[in-house]
Every structure is written in structure tokens, then in C-alpha cells.
Structure 1
Amino acid sequence: MSSFTLHETMFFKGNNLPVKVLLRDPEIPFSLHNHDFYEIVVVVSGKGTHLSEQNKRQLQEGMVFCIRPGTIHGYADIENLVLYNLLIGKKAFSILYPEIKDVAGFHETFMQTEGEVPLVRLNSHQHAEIVALVSAIKEESEQQDYNRGSTSMTYSKLLQFLILVSRFHSARRGSAFQNDQRLEKVISYMEQNLDRSIPLNELVEISNMSASTLNRQFKLSTGWSPVDFHIHRRIAYASNLLLTTDLSIERISEKTGFSDANYFARQFRSHMQMSPRQYKQLWTTPKED
């Protein structure tokens, strides 16, 4: 399998702080490659396909995964995918490792054998906490005034990040962890049906779980009920249509399965904290210099 290698020297200047956070907004298709450092990916929003030598995995908001040195991977089928990439040099990882090696969930999440890429799925509350923490790591790591303790603070926040993700992963083991594949099947079905409302009994049949079990496991995994999560994904689809097409709000409402435009507007405001028209104006009106 053809690929190329990215090296630490491309990203880390000097040896003081081999940690860098990149915001990929948006991420673009990226051919198969590997690197000689660790890369931890946090999916902020959107969706796409992560490629590895073993498989293809669908990415969506709330996923976290670690690419170890030497692992070949890439991205394809990108749709408004926004990622945080935490690049960690081997030196930095070796400093952190003694502090975290015994934390439950750490080895399963970050230390799998070369080529294996475990996915951690965060619920909405965990996702918000992790995204805010990564943003803080980025800000701290970019400080040039090192006599303020920025290097130590970056390592401290990065250690906190690794522990939190490990804890979140560990907490989902057991019955919730065993149900991941069935939940992924349900979510994949939702993504294929963003043009209509899906009744709960239809999702129950897809999942092969009882309604109460599906609701409980889905909320544990995503922070949403199945029905609310599907509405959230339809609103995300509507947001994309608002920015990439000239369709009217009424037509977008229909294309995302909201037969009542007023109900669509209420749901949009609930999820996006603004009306569809305000959202379109915000992101399509040219900014003055």
C-alpha cells in the first residue's frame, strides 16, 4: 500500500515543546500516510471516512482516536469535517507515559499495536469538555513566553486530556461497550435517512434491542435520545444546505424531513441558537475589512 511519511521536524521547532495542536477547519481529503510521532484526532463536527490498512471507519462528531507512529492512515469522503489534531512527539509522550500508564482505559485507547485504531465515542457533554480542553492546550502550546510556565501548563493540560479520554472510554466498557456495533448500525441508518423522520420502532428493529435498552444505551453513548440525535443530524444537514445551495428555507425544511416549516425553524433555533435565515446571513454575508 503506497504512502508517505511525515516527520517530527516538519512540525516541532527545536526540542523544548514537541506538542502541536492543529485545527483542521475544514479537513480535506488526505492520501495514505504515516508519521514518526503520535497524532490524536478529535472530531469536532461534520463527517468523513477514516482509512487504514485494516478497514474504513465512518467519522462523525464526538469521536476521538489515536494514530501511533508508523500507522498508515488517511481521509476520504469528506463532508464539512472539522478536526483537532494533537501532534505529540515521542519525547513528549515518553514524559507523560509514566504518569498515565496505569490509568484504566489508557492502553486500549492510546497504546494499541501498530495499525490498530480504536475509536472512542464521546457523548455531547464529554465532547464539549474535550473540545474546550483541546482549545486550551492549543492556546497554551502556542505561547512564546516560556518563562510563564507555558511548557509545564501544556503538559499538565495534555495529561488531563489523556486521562479524561481514558476514563470516558473505560466507563463505556461492559454492556454499553458491547453494544457499540449495534449503535453504529443505527447511526449509519440515520445518516442514510436525513430526509425524513424515523420513528423509534423502526430504530428498535434495526438495533435488535428493546426500546428502553436502545434509549438508555444511545443516551449513554451520545448524550441524546435516538429521536433527538436524528433531529440533530438533520439540522446539521440543513445547515450545510443553507450554505451550499440556493434552496429556500421552506424547500430545505422539506428535504430534511420537516413537513412544517415553522416546526423546522423552532428545531433549528433550539439546536443552533439562531434562526435558519440568521445562520445563512452570518456565514454567507461578505465580511468588511
Structure 2
Amino acid sequence: MTHTGTLLHFVEGTLVHAGPHVHENSHPLHTHSFFEIALITGGEGVHHSLAGRQQLEPGDLILLRPGVWHQYDECRGLQVYNCCFSADLVQRELAWTREDPLLGYLLWTGPFSAQRRGMLTAHLEPGTMKEGLQHLEELRRLRNQSLSRHRGDVVGWLSLYLSCLARTVAEHGDRGEQTHPAVLDAMRMMEADPARQWMLTDLAHALHLAPGYLVRLFKSATGLPPMAYLSRHRVELAADQLLHTDLPINRIGESVGWPDQNYFARRFKSHYGLSASAYRQRFNARKLSPSAR
């Protein structure tokens, strides 16, 4: 079976999109330039991603960071309530979530830990799903309102929804503890300058920590050592450039800190399961907004 790759992206000025969708049979392989949280509210289907195939039921929740590909198969009235929000929103208005134990795990460290490759799954009990849907309906109601007049409302309702989900993840014991300030500082430093040829010793020296201690702190918070976390960040940046620019692949590798094209190719395929050229060819064929889903 052949699928035409699809990139879903926000129209200019959009921060958050929330709305229900019904899928029959299948929804094709695609990726996104934004965060997506899919809440299954009814019907049947199978979710296919790099993590494998997951039989879906009402209450299932799937969080995907930008660049992660997925599709739905074997759908029988599969009802999905999507909540999509821009990566810029997470970096700006929601930057504080990185320091919150529950939200930091939900958005920042959880999708990268335990070889999840940018995904996090959970299951909501009926009461929690009802609460979450109330927040989603408020976001949906604001969809056609002026963002300049309702930005605070949008960020507020999204924060309530994310907090609802983060508590569920925490109740099932699937989270880290309070993230050490040095780990947060290290994340910010590497993300601010991904093209720099970072060395563990240099990073530890800048933070006034022993390299081994920094590794232990980082693995405790994210499940990854610092350089592996940097690799995950770099492949997300590379994926975004593959989807939104015409830059040669070797230039993209250089811009994210991997001037060795062969090494860049290995790291990218290890994360997304596709070569950089195949990823661009498959997912940059045409572009749709979330409301076109």
C-alpha cells in the first residue's frame, strides 16, 4: 500500500488548534510542524508510528512532538479530538513548564526518555477525559476569535488541559522528579547554540560540575546523557528545516551541529526511521493546515 506523504502545518498567526475529527478506514501517513495531542473519544482504530502499532480505545492519549510521523489504520468511526499547538508557544509563553515536575515531563523530558523518540502515550479515565474535553471545547470556542484579544484565554485553557494530562501521567508513576537547575541550564545552553561542537567537559565546566555528576543528573531527569539529549534536539531542528526549506541536506546537517554528512545521516535515521532525503520526499509533498484534517 502506497501513501502520499503529508506535512500538516499552522497557518500564519495560529498558536493553538483544537477540534474533533472522525476517521473511517485510514488516515494517511503524515507529520507535523507543531505539537499534537490526540485524545481518542470513540470508535476503533490502530495507531501506527515508529513505536509500532497500538490498538486504540476511548481514553487513549497520544502526544507527539514536532516532526514525528504517524498514521491511523483500520478505523471504524474513530473519533479523535486533536489539540495542536506551536513549538514557538512552548518555547515562549509555556517556557515555564520546563521547570514544573509534571508539565516538564509531559512536554520536555518524557517524550525523549525510554527510547520514545518524541512520543508519549497515556490513558485517561472517564472523569479525567470529561474534564479534558471541557478544556478542549473552550479552546475550540476561541478558535475564530482574535488572538490579539484572547491570547491569555488561549494560553490559559491550554495550560489547564496540559495540567489535566500531566496529573494523569504522574498518577501512573510515569514521570521524573523535580528537575535539577543545572539540567535546565544545560538544556537551554545547548538549545541556544546547537551548531556549536559541544563537549561534555566544556558543558560541565560552564556549569561548575564534574562531568560524571552532570551525566547522572541529566539521565535522572531525561533518561538520556546530555549529548544524547542534544542529538534529539538537533534532529528535530533538522526535520523542521527539511520540511520548510530547500536547503541542501549537508547544509542542514552543518547548521544543527553535524558537519559530517554520514554521521548526520546515521543520527537522523536512528531517530525517525527514515533517511533525511526520504523524510523530505515523503512529508514535504504537500502542506495542509490542521483544520483540513
Residue 31 of structure 1 deviates from its aligned partner by: 1.8
Q: Kindly state the Cα deviation for residue 172 of structure 1 after the two structures are TM-superposed.
A: 1.6
Q: Which residue, 139, 142, 145 being the options, matches 1:140?
A: 142
Alignment root-mean-square deviation, CA: 2.4
Distance in 2 separating the partners of 1:102 and 1:27: 40
**2:32 counterpart residue number:** 35
2:70 alignment counterpart: 73
1:203-252 deviation digits (Å, cap 9, x = unpaired): xxxxxxxxxxxxxxxxxxxxxxxxxxxxxxxxxxxxxxxxxxxxxxxxxx
| 2:5 corresponds to | 4
CA distance in 1, matches of 2:8, 2:40: 23
Q: Is the 8 A contact 1:32 1:72 kept in 2?
A: yes
Per-residue CA shift, 1:136-194, capped at 9, x if unaligned? 111123224x56x32210111101111121111101217xxxxxxxxxxxxxxxxxxxx
Structure 2 CA distance for partners of 1:172 and 1:5, relative to 1, 3 Å: same
CA contact (8 A) 2:6 2:29 kept: no
Tell me, what secondary structure is at the counterpart of 1:101? helix
Structure 2 counterpart of 1:52 = 49
Question: How many residues matched?
Answer: 168
Q: Does the C-alpha gap of structure 1 residues 7 and 97 become closer, same or farther in structure 2, counting only changes over 3 Å?
A: same
1:85-104 C-alpha deviation (Å, 9 max, x unpaired):
11211222222432222333
2:5 counterpart letter in structure 1: F
Percent identity of equivalent pairs: 19
What amino acid does structure 2 have at the position aligned with 1:156?
G
TM-score with structure 1 length normalisation?
0.53
SS in structure 2 at match of 1:105: helix
Q: Which has the higher contact order (CA 8 A, sep 6+)?
A: 2
SS of 1:92's partner is helix
Name 1:235's counterpart in structure 2. Answer: none
1:130 paired residue among 120, 129, 132:
132
What is the alpha-carbon distance in structure 2 between the residues aligned to residue 2 and residue 168 of structure 1? 35
| Unpaired stretches in structure 1, ≥5 consecutive residues | 175-289
Which residue number corresponds to residue 153 of structure 2? 153
State which structure, 1 or 2, has the greater radius of gyration over its C-alpha atoms: 1
Q: Cα distance, 1:107 vs. partner?
A: 4.2
Q: 2:159 corresponds to which letter in structure 1?
A: L
**CA deviation digits over 1:25-78, x for unaligned, max 9?**
346611221111111111111121110022101111112221111111100011
Distance in 2 between the 1:116 and 1:2 partners? Answer: 22
